[in-house]
Amino acid sequence: MSPASKRSNPWDFIVVDKASLLEKLSVCKPHGAAFLKDAPMAIVVCANPEKAMYGLKILL
């Protein structure tokens, strides 16, 4: 990842490799997550709207 001014990146990446958590993630939404049940790991991408808006205010 390239550096960002003031480290205000509005995202976080979480690596999940615990089977019990992958099982929970596999049923967290009705469609499109079932494959996680048998996956060896997953990368969860989380966005932080407050950080995104802060960066937008700086640009404007």
> Per residue in 9-57, pLDDT tens?
788 899 999 999 999 999 998 899 999 999 999 999 998 877 766 555 5
Flag whether 5 is in a domain: no
Flag whether 11 is in a domain: no
Tell me the C-alpha distance between 35 and 54, whole Å.
Answer: 35
Q: Position of tokens 């640009």?
A: 59
Total count of domains within the chain: 1
User: What pLDDT is stored for residue 14 in this prediction?
Assistant: 95
Q: How many helices (H) and strands (E) does the chain have?
A: 2, 2
Flag whether 22 is in a domain: yes
Inter-residue contact 52 to 7 (CB < 8 Å)? no
> Residue 47 sits in which domain range?
17-59
Flag whether 12 is in a domain: no
pTM over 0.75: no
List of residues 6+ apart from 38 with CB closer than 8 A: none
